[in-house]
Amino acid sequence: MTGTPSVSTRLWLRAPLAILAEDAGGGIVVEGSRIVELVASGGQPSSPVDETFDAARHVVLPGLVNTHHHFFQTLTRAHPLAINKPLFPWLKALYTVWDKLTPEAFRLATRLAYTELLLSGCTTAGDHHYLFPKGLEQAVDIQAEEARALGIRAVITRGSMSLSERDGGLPPECLTQDDDTILEDSERVLRLFHDTAPGAMVQIGLAPCSPFNVTKRLMRESAALAERHDCRLHTHLGETLDEDRYCLELFGQRPVEYLEEVGWMTGRTWLAHGIHFTTDEIARLGRAGVGVCHCPTSNMTLASGQCRTCELEAAGSPVGLGVDGSASNDSSNLMEGVRHALMINRLTYGAEAVSHRDALRWATEGSARCLGRSDIGRIAAGCEADLALFTLDELRFSGAHDPLAALVLCGAHRADRVMVAGRWRVLDGRPLGSETGRLREEHSRLARHLFGTV
């Protein structure tokens, strides 16, 4: 009957093998898009349920939250022009091929990245898209459409580059836009897609690419626009020593000083990489509540350095995780990134200083804090039912005694089931609504055609 509210099904995920939540050994109850109850070990839900899923084989995590990526780069993985280069030469090499990006290729790159992330247990996918060559002006629209089709939660940052080589920047002119065009389109996509309500499935952030690719005016006006629309701000900062030298030569100040000058030293901001900060800069970032997305795999691939995660957290900065671009990571696997985060941070701080729970926390609750969200990243009553369920049925886990630690230490990389907003999106290791064989074939064909070297 029209107007009659639908009745939400109550689903009990019963007695998991292990769960990353306190007092939930008996599982959790999901109703609609949210977790409504945690069940103690040996207990029963407080009221009847409609369905029960036996989770005895599964280790249950909050859905992982990716806070930095470049989806289009899935098309140029392990590209011969860029292999074995540090960041600046790597960028300059790939700028010469990225100008060939078409809307069709971008759509497939986006679909593939979302699918890879889902399969790794990621339920919220952040992307930083900053390339808008002629014909790709609707890139953000494509990403929003693809997220909705797959049912993944998305935080899409409208990136930008406005300083070309001619203006003292790094990219060629064909990959840049002028400030007015960028600001106009930023406002357009905010009005179309940005949802500030709890449980939002699509949100928009503003993300000028980096200090060496945009004007001060664009940085300042993006900050003002973010205030008006209550959205987040994102950029690359502190990634390499080359960046420090560039900012000193161009602006006469270090990147964090520049950030403060343009009005970005705020809890609305989260930064990608955040490696080369001084102790004083870390304290300033922490006081302002600026978040940092740690990208361990990319940082190791490009030999950019080691993020001072523990000091940043101690200072007050939220720390999250990101896979970064699939040409500097060559993968879109956030669970793999959790393991890498554990390893590189143990190398930095020592074996006793960083645990598997720290790395998992960065990928869940820490990432959610970077995005300004308290409704995701945790298994708790009232939070969104975003969940990643892993089995320990592979040989790599045989002999493991602590299931949660085993996921990280033994190298889990693919979830068996993934739930987003109370709905299964991956079942038996397969994404619903995506034919992976066909996707790989079409994506590979376009990658070879547009970006191949032979």
Nearest to 129 by CA among 189, 169, 86: 189
Q: Residue 1 pLDDT more than 60?
A: no
**289 backbone φψ class: left, alpha, beta (φ>0; ψ -120 to 50):** left
Mean of pLDDT values over 209-216: 90
Per-residue pLDDT at 454:
45
Sign, CA dihedral 198-208-69-320, equals negative
Local confidence band at 141 (pLDDT 50, 70, 90 cut-offs): very high
pLDDT, tens only, 39-61: 999 999 999 999 999 999 999 99
- Each domain of the chain, given as residue ranges in start order, spans 10-62+377-431, 64-370
Sign, CA dihedral 214-217-220-221, equals negative
Sign, CA dihedral 168-170-171-177, equals negative
CA atoms of 452 and 78, how far apart (whole Å): 11
How much of the chain, in percent, has pLDDT values that exceed 70?
98
Contact 234, 272 (CB under 8 A): yes
Per-residue pLDDT at 453:
63
> What crossing angle do the helices spanning 139-150 and 103-119 adopt, rounded to 10°?
40
Contact 237, 274 (CB under 8 A): yes
Q: Residue 2 pLDDT more than 50?
A: no
CA atoms of 325 and 69, how far apart (whole Å): 5
Per-residue pLDDT at 7:
53
How does DSSP assign 182-249, residue by residue? HHHHHHHHHHHH---STT-SEEEEEEE--TTTS-HHHHHHHHHHHHHHT-EEEEEES--HHHHHHHHH
CA atoms of 134 and 108, how far apart (whole Å): 18
CA atoms of 108 and 441, how far apart (whole Å): 10
* Largest interatomic CA distance in the chain: 68
Residue length of the chain: 454
Per-residue pLDDT at 4:
38
327 or 59, greater pLDDT: 59
> In 362-432, which ranges are continuous DSSP H helix?
367-370, 403-409
**50 backbone φψ class: left, alpha, beta (φ>0; ψ -120 to 50):** alpha
Q: Which of 154-158, 209-213, 254-258 has the lowest mean pLDDT?
A: 209-213
Nearest to 105 by CA among 66, 69, 135, 144: 135
pLDDT, tens only, 142-180: 999 999 999 999 999 999 999 988 888 888 899 999 999
Give the pair of three-digit tokens for residue 140: 């953000």
Per-residue pLDDT at 108:
97
Per-residue pLDDT at 152:
98
Local confidence band at 6 (pLDDT 50, 70, 90 cut-offs): very low
Q: Residue 31 pLDDT more than 60?
A: yes
The CATH number assigned to the domain with range 64-370 reads 3.20.20.140
Q: What count of other Cβ atoms lies within 10 Å of the Cβ of residue 47?
A: 10
φ, ψ for residue 79, nearest 5 deg: -75, 130
Could you give the angle at the alpha carbon of 409 between the alpha carbons of 384 and 270, nearest 5°? 45
* Residue 143, CA distances (Å) to 119, 156, 173, 175, 292 in order: 18, 7, 24, 19, 23
Q: What does the mean pLDDT of the chain come to?
A: 95
CA atoms of 119 and 389, how far apart (whole Å): 10
Contact 42, 14 (CB under 8 A): no
Give the pair of three-digit tokens for residue 370: 């970077």
Q: Residue 379 pLDDT more than 60?
A: yes
CA atoms of 396 and 197, how far apart (whole Å): 41
How much of the chain, in percent, has pLDDT values that exceed 90?
89
Could you give the angle at the alpha carbon of 341 between the alpha carbons of 339 and 344, nearest 5°? 110
**203 backbone φψ class: left, alpha, beta (φ>0; ψ -120 to 50):** beta
CA atoms of 92 and 97, how far apart (whole Å): 10
Q: Which fold has domain 10-62+377-431?
A: Urease, subunit C; domain 1 (2.30.40)
Local confidence band at 3 (pLDDT 50, 70, 90 cut-offs): very low
CA atoms of 366 and 363, how far apart (whole Å): 6
30 or 1, greater pLDDT: 30
pLDDT, tens only, 57-88: 999 999 999 999 999 999 999 999 999 999 88
* Residue 317, CA distances (Å) to 176, 308, 427 in order: 31, 11, 36
Contact 153, 123 (CB under 8 A): yes
CA atoms of 439 and 108, how far apart (whole Å): 7
